[in-house]
Amino acid sequence: MHSTHLLLEEPIRMASILEPSKPNFFPAMTKIVGTLGPKSRAVEIISGCLKAGMSVARFDFSWGDTEFHQETLENLKVAIKSTKKLCAVMLDTVGPELQVVNKTEHPISLKAESLVTLTPDQDKEASSSLLPINFTGLPKAVKAGDTIFIGQYLFTGSETTSVWLEVTEVKGEDVVCLIKNSATLAGSLFTLHVSQIHIDLPTLTDKDKEVISTWGVRNNIDFLSLSYTRHAEDVRQAREFLSKLGDLSQTHIFAKIENVEGLTHFDEILQEADGIILSRGNLGIDLPPEKVFLFQKAAVYKCNMAGKPAVVTRVVDSMTDNLRPTRAEATDVANAVLDGSDAILLGAETLRGLYPVETISIVGKICAEAEKAYNQDLYFKKTVKYVGEPMTHLESIASSAVRAAIKVKASVIICFTSSGRAARLIAKYRPTMPVLSVVIPRLKTNQLRWTFSGAFEARQSLIVRSLFPILADPRHPAESTNATNESVLKVALDHGKASGVIKPHDRVVVCQKVGDASVVKIIELED
């Protein structure tokens, strides 16, 4: 992965399209979040996912109980040990999600142009003329002419498994709708989405709080994906809740933007959250189709400028059942990378899809190719201009490290960090080479015992583009004073050599603190 391949040529040479893609130790700089579920919870399959490039495992609590997810997580731990690949854990909350309850699990067939009633009475049985839902406030929220969408795991695009309804009248507690397309709803749970309507339910529900304080605490989750984030206050409340749960005060909160309400308050949410997940499935229903790309580009740009990870969802839906993505999907993944996304989140594709490992592998390959065509030079100038002058001390060091690395064609940047902030700032300037972020553990105490921090910080960089963490041994000094001394820098260089990123005579840029000063230096390696 020598950075000479990554220098942008405009226009892109046709010859590079004909060259076969080269396999690398780091499949792509862009990270892949995989959702683990029924089709992807065996140790062998999780191991395959890790080898293919998954660096964050997402556990979606919209379905499945804590025992089910715990078993999956135990398998993940076994897979991490056997593959020696780091992986972070993300807990995805249910949030104020409206659902149709089908207790019998019999398929429900709905015919176009007939009427169906939505009722809050969950004891009733679901049928083709009556659908019980988990929300009593629907009649107050909707009016005649509003559109309601119902589907399993939100729509796959194939409209035979999901249905559009138009509200015709509100009768007391019930809402009567006209069915716009024929469909068969199969399974026990379907998501219900009402376009551009405020749902008066808390963002962090009691069920979510229970899951976080039991399963989340027990497993020291790295990320909390806050579904249906609508206001900055939602993030503040979630953070306050986490702060009371011991180690979870370090958990990063990713706000999931799923509707127009979240879009309206995007800037304030971005200030509060540690990262953003663009839930394009739901947004695709809330926004007119022609506006979805605009939102993606604007939101990703804002995340980039704030130096916070942007995660894009719903990219290769068709791979749930097929071995290859459609042309549109392949282009969509590449465009997400060119827009500046940090990570791609796979949902149904790995959760219940037939080809979880192949999906991760193909998405990784597309990302790697798109990164070669990424206009880093333009992006760098835009970021520096946006940040303005005078820059903060850390920001100027980070941007200088990236500039130096590109000018000397360094094969890798090594950054020493304890909180992970310095490494994330370097990643903000989108270097064209991998950044080995060496997390130096810090001693901390809770008055009862001393512990080392660092594992959280290392795993949390697994969702940031171009960051590859190594947890340093606290006994090693940062740098050797004499030739025999095992230093952290030597360990990082050895790791780079072993993984094939660093070769003899390569140049490496090192960013570290010496006393109170931050230093950027360039090392040229001998044989």
Q: Which residues pair with 118 in a beta bridge?
A: 131, 175
Q: What is the pLDDT of residues 228-265, one digit of tens each?
A: 999 999 999 999 999 998 888 889 999 999 989 999 99
Mean pLDDT of the residues in the chain? 86
Q: What is the pLDDT of residues 504-516, one digit of tens each?
A: 889 999 998 776 7
| Per-residue H/E/C for 13-44 | CHHHHHCCCCCCCCCCCCEEEEECCCCCCCHH
Confidence band (pLDDT; 50, 70, 90) for 21? low
Does the pLDDT of residue 14 top 80, yes or no?
no
Write down all domains in the chain, each with its CATH number in brackets.
Answer: 30-96+202-373 (3.20.20.60), 101-194 (2.40.33.10), 376-525 (3.40.1380.20)
Give me 425's structure tokens: 């700032």
Do residues 320 and 349 make contact, with C-beta atoms less than 8 angstroms apart?
A: yes
Per-residue pLDDT averaged across 424-444, rounded?
89
Per-residue pLDDT averaged across 425-447, rounded?
86
Residue 253 main-chain phi, psi, to 5 deg: -100, 125
Which residue's structure tokens are 């729509």?
Answer: 155
What percentage of the chain reaches a pLDDT higher than 90?
Answer: 48
| Per-residue H/E/C for 240-307 | HHHHCCHHHHHCEEEEEECCHHHHHCHHHHHHHCCEEEECHHHHHHHCCHHHHHHHHHHHHHHHHHHC
Give me 203's structure tokens: 């963002």
Between CA 333 and CA 328 the distance in angstroms is 9
Q: What is the pLDDT of residues 150-203, one digit of tens each?
A: 876 554 455 567 888 999 998 888 999 999 888 888 776 678 888 778 888 899
Give me 481's structure tokens: 């004073």
> Which of 210-224, 355-369, 467-481 shows the lowest per-residue confidence on average (mean pLDDT)?
467-481
Give me 113's structure tokens: 């142009």
Looking at residue 12, its pLDDT comes to 57
Q: Which residues does 179 contact at the CB level (< 8 Å), separation at least 6?
A: 110, 111, 112, 113, 114, 115, 116, 163, 164, 165
Looking at residue 6, its pLDDT comes to 46
Q: Which residues pair with 33 in a beta bridge?
A: 56, 345
Do residues 34 and 321 make contact, with C-beta atoms less than 8 angstroms apart?
A: no
Give me 329's structure tokens: 């999907």
Return the closest-CA partner of residue 193 out of 232, 243, 155, 145: 155
CA 207 remoteness from chain centre: 23
Q: What is the pLDDT of residues 384-427, one digit of tens each?
A: 999 988 988 889 999 999 999 999 999 999 998 888 888 999 99
Between CA 378 and CA 390 the distance in angstroms is 21
Looking at residue 462, its pLDDT comes to 93
- The more confident residue out of 271 and 107 is 271
Give me 205's structure tokens: 């529900």
Does the pLDDT of residue 518 top 70, yes or no?
yes
Q: What is the pLDDT of residues 197-230, one digit of tens each?
A: 888 889 999 999 999 999 999 999 999 999 999 9
Q: What is the pLDDT of residues 70-115, one digit of tens each?
A: 999 999 999 999 998 999 999 999 888 888 888 887 888 889 999 9
